[in-house]
Amino acid sequence: MIGKPDWRRITGADDPQKARLRPLSAANSEPEVKPEMSLHTAPELIVGTLRVMPVSLDAFDGGVVARLSGPGLLSVLDAAFAGDAAIQLWSSGTLPRAMMVTEIAMQGGSTLVTLEDAPAPLRLN
């Protein structure tokens, strides 16, 4: 049996009468993509299976500097020190790049984390 829908989660409204849902025809239509908007322009930082949303991400030759805070920072730190999750940088038109943490600088409410390209693993066979 399916329970009542959670209107707060679906629409952000407290009252179902105030919730404004799109008709099914609008929900099934393709989203409008504006010319200046691209789906894959900004690089994405992936830690294990989580997408980390940095406050800012500045690229340099061989790596990036990410300004992180909150859960994103914790997941990067856990991956760097525990070593059980891979840190990757995904960009449009390129393969994912393995990254390693090389520097951490704490400043106020956010932290600058320098990530550089990880050395390629040795192939045994």
For the entire predicted model, the pTM comes to: 0.61
Domain boundaries of the chain, sorted by first residue: 44-117
- Checking if the pLDDT of 15 tops 80, the result is no
pLDDT in tens, 87-97: 999 987 788 89
Q: How far apart are CA 6 and CA 79, in angstroms?
A: 34
pLDDT in tens, 33-55: 444 444 556 788 999 889 999 99
